[in-house]
């Protein structure tokens, strides 16, 4: 079993100084750092194995195709689904857009699309556009004053509204809250809703079993789970996925083309026109291998302990207010300090080598609900340690002293 405290040594970006201080990377919610094995896999492809997939009969092309398709199987195994249910996209954003565009024919005027108040813009705007196209109504499950979805309230909202589509994040990118999506999906399905879960934040920390969750669609981004940018996953239950119309069109996704008519392949090929992001898929394959080799129970416990350590330290500073559910959380703390602007604090923290995020975190409606113009967000991953948190807290004390003059 790997020693989790040693894993940070596998991440070359963490071994640097920023502004003369050792980097303390607390922005994994924006994108995770990459282990050397992922960087090596991408380099190896371009240095030794570069060829296009699904095309040539020559050795390199066959090897590229084999390795590329093997990662699809790996991803499917990771999520406990079938490889034919995995579509490679450019990111969680594109995955949601693909589904929202594809459901246009499923909606009529006044049908309900139900989302929650804490969604990332990527899980709001595509649904809003779908509502505009179809004259359906976009309805929202509210959050409480801490920014949390209360499951019983959410369930009664689902019961009351009987949505045609239910879309919800598994974990909030701004607050880290974990939603009880399994219960919400089950309720939405009682009314025949099509369900989509945004797992962009949750995947790395929760390793969801999608057969158990039983949602129709689940989306994630490779770059938030140790993989490269420019790659996302759309999981869809095969029939639900295959029922979606084509999204982007071009080569590879077709069966036959004439100037009169084109016929398309079945999912997943149907949704993957053109040359895919081969190197990213191979890099993500290395990320999945890396994750698989770590005992998940131990990793999860480590992350949770670290998060509680962070929360305890933050709570000991007078004037800090932390939002969100501090018990069911992937390891993200979003906070304000009195009336100080989040931007000033984040800038000052950077001068101490602390990489934290400030702003609305692509959740403007959530910020409006909480009556905030932004927060400082600290998002952890297993390559962080208590020393990172101690450095962050000590820098935070100094920044506060500077701000208070």
Contacts with ligand PMP, residue ranges (CB under 6 A): 91-93, 120, 122-123, 169, 173, 198, 200-201, 221, 232, 362
In the block, tokens 């596998």 appear at 10
259 vs 279: CA distance, rounded Å: 33
Strands in 85-163 per DSSP E: 86-89, 112-116, 137-141
Q: How far is the CB of 298 from ligand PMP (least distance, A)?
A: 25
- For residue 85 the two structure tokens come to 């249910």
Q: How far is the CB of 191 from ligand PMP (least distance, A)?
A: 25
| For ligand PMP, the closer CB: 225 or 395 | 225
Phi and psi torsions of 387, nearest 5° = -65, -40
Q: How far is the CB of 271 from ligand PMP (least distance, A)?
A: 16
261 vs 241: CA distance, rounded Å: 23
Q: Which of 148, 215, 362, 399 is catalytic?
A: 362
CB atoms inside a 10 Å sphere around CB 13: 12
| For ligand PMP, the closer CB: 93 or 336 | 93
| For ligand PMP, the closer CB: 120 or 237 | 120
Phi and psi torsions of 337, nearest 5° = -120, 115
Q: How far is the CB of 216 from ligand PMP (least distance, A)?
A: 17
- For residue 254 the two structure tokens come to 């077709």
Strands in 222-260 per DSSP E: 232-236, 254-257
| For ligand PMP, the closer CB: 370 or 400 | 370
Q: How far is the CB of 336 from ligand PMP (least distance, A)?
A: 20
Phi and psi torsions of 204, nearest 5° = -65, -35
Q: Is 215 assigned a catalytic role?
A: no
28 vs 176: CA distance, rounded Å: 11
| For ligand PMP, the closer CB: 64 or 167 | 167
Considering only CA atoms, give the Rg of the chain. Answer: 22
Q: Which residues are catalytic?
A: 362
């Amino acid at each position: 079993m790997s020693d989790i405290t040693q894993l940070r040594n596998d991440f070359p970006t963490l071994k640097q100084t920023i502004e003369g201080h050792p980097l303390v990377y607390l922005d994994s919610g924006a994108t995770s750092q990459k282990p050397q094995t992922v960087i090596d896999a991408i380099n190896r492809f371009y240095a030794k194995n570069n060829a296009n997939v699904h095309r040539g009969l020559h050795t390199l092309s066959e090897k590229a195709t084999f390795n590329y398709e093997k990662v699809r199987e790996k991803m499917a195994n990771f999520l406990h689904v079938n490889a034919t249910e995995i579509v490679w996209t450019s990111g969680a954003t594109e995955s949601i857009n693909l589904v929202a565009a594809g459901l246009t024919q499923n909606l009529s005027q006044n049908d309900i699309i139900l989302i929650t108040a804490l969604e990332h813009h990527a899980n709001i705007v595509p649904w809003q556009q779908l509502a505009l196209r179809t004259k359906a109504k976009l309805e929202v499950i509210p959050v409480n004053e801490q920014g949390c979805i209360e499951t019983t309230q959410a369930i009664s909202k689902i019961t009351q509204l009987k949505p045609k589509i239910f879309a919800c994040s598994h974990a909030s990118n701004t607050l880290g809250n974990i939603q009880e999506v399994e219960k919400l999906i089950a309720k939405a399905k009682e009314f025949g809703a099509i369900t989509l879960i945004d797992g962009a934040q949750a995947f790395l920390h929760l390793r969801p079993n999608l057969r158990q969750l039983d949602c129709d669609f689940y989306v994630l981004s490779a770059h938030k789970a140790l993989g490269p940018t420019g790659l996302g996953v759309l999981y869809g239950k095969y029939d639900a996925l295959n029922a979606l119309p084509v999204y982007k069109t071009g080569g590879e996704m077709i069966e036959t083309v004439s100037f009169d008519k084109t016929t398309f392949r079945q999912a997943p090929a149907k949704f993957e026109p053109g040359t895919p992001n081969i190197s990213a898929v191979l890099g993500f394959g290395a990320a999945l291998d890396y994750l698989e080799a770590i005992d998940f129970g131990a990793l999860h416990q480590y992350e949770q302990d670290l998060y509680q350590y962070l929360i305890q330290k933050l709570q000991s500073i007078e004037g800090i207010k932390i939002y969100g559910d501090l018990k069911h959380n992937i390891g993200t703390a979003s906070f304000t300090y009195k009336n100080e602007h989040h931007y000033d604090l984040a800038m000052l923290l950077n001068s101490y080598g602390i990489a934290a995020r400030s702003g609305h975190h692509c959740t403007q409606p959530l910020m409006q609900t909480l009556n905030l113009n932004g927060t400082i967000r600290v998002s952890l991953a297993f390559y962080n340690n208590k020393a990172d948190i101690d450095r962050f807290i000590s820098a935070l004390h100094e920044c506060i002293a500077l701000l208070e003059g």
